[in-house]
Amino acid sequence: MSGSRARHAESLPHNRPKATERWGRTQCPYCGVGCGLLVQIEAGQAVRVKGDPDHPANFGDVCAKAIMLPRALHTPDRLLYPHLRTRRDQTLTRVPWSLALKTVARALRNIIAQYGPDAVAFYGSGQLLTEDYYVANKLAKGFLGTNNFDANSRLCMASAVAGYKTSLGSDGPPAAYADLELADSFFIIGSNPAECHPIVFRRIKRRKEQAHDDVKVIVVDPRRTETADIADLHLPIRPGADVALLNAMLSVLVEQGLVDQQFIANHTQGWEELRAQLARYTPEAV
């Protein structure tokens, strides 16, 4: 089910939790939008989730993934307690946390004593918070003495970070969520927010609906997606041709004198080298 089609009426600001209910604030652990959530707690368990109307990322809106969080937490096959076995062919048996922690610590100590600290590696989750990463790195680097700490964040975001730093000089995008309600043009390339970031997509769609004739949406995607359905222009380019398209767009901007020369002089490097390449990327050739 598409997250952008999830029902979210109950998460709107006028449906605030009743005073007699026990609710807590948290943040959705899934995509990078970082939606604020309100979680209803009963007997120490999360039983219901809805959007936080005071959170600046989603203003109470949520997608299907957040709504289903209680069910994901309470699946019957979820591991809630530590289990151990002395041999691989034995059955896992539940043990106290103290025994589990001692077993892990003893195993790490034996490995390091025999092979050195770099024989140990840690692999973290993209859902860890900054404070979690700090503690984990403190354990690995400050205490055990190894730099071998990795996470899937590097695998899924390393290319984006490299692109941001190379093109913008910073490892984060320069835009802010508040820009969505102010923009008059959206150029979406390399992304399908209707599926991957439903809350952001809803804000883009809402902005388009509020000023249909004044706001333009351009979607570059080889496929026809739900994101492309709201586009004024859908460019179904050949896969792998996105850089050529961007270079052709820049070529037109230069030819028509639409680039900010003062900004280029003050804030960029390598402009002349890039400009020399643009002759290959005329709109006709691309």
Find the CATH number of the domain harbouring 42: 3.30.200.210
Q: How many CB atoms lie within 10 A of CB 161?
A: 14
Mean pLDDT over the full length of the chain: 89
Find the CATH number of the domain harbouring 223: 3.40.228.10
Extract the tokens encoding 223: 């496929």
Same-domain status, 148 and 201 = no
Q: Greater confidence, 58 or 12?
A: 58
Q: Is the pLDDT of residue 125 over 90?
A: no
198 domain residue, yes or no: yes
Instruction: Give the structural domain span for 285.
Output: 239-286
163 domain residue, yes or no: no
Instruction: Give the SS3 label for residue 223.
Output: coil
| Cβ pair 27, 41 in contact under 8 A | no
Q: Is the pLDDT of residue 7 over 50?
A: no
pLDDT in tens, 170-204: 887 778 899 999 999 999 999 999 999 999 999 99
| Cβ pair 174, 8 in contact under 8 A | no
Extract the tokens encoding 165: 């730093």
Residues 222, 239: Cα–Cα separation, whole Å: 6
130 domain residue, yes or no: yes
167 domain residue, yes or no: no
Residues 58, 177: Cα–Cα separation, whole Å: 9
41 domain residue, yes or no: yes
Number of structural domains the chain divides into: 4
| 207 Cβ contact partners less than 8 Å away, ≥ 6 residues apart | 180, 181, 183, 186, 215
Same-domain status, 180 and 226 = yes
Q: Is the pLDDT of residue 5 over 60?
A: no
- The predicted model gives 20-26 an average pLDDT of 83
pLDDT in tens, 78-124: 899 999 998 899 999 999 999 999 999 999 999 999 999 999 999 98
223 — pLDDT class (breaks 50, 70, 90): very high
Residue 269 is classified by DSSP as S
Decide which of 36, 55, 73 is a domain's last residue. Answer: 73
Same-domain status, 52 and 15 = yes
Closest CA to 187 of 225, 235, 141: 235
Same-domain status, 102 and 60 = no
Decide which of 47, 73, 99 is a domain's last residue. Answer: 73
Same-domain status, 182 and 217 = yes
Q: Positive or negative, the Cα torsion across 175, 180, 186, 191?
A: positive
1 — pLDDT class (breaks 50, 70, 90): very low
92 domain residue, yes or no: yes
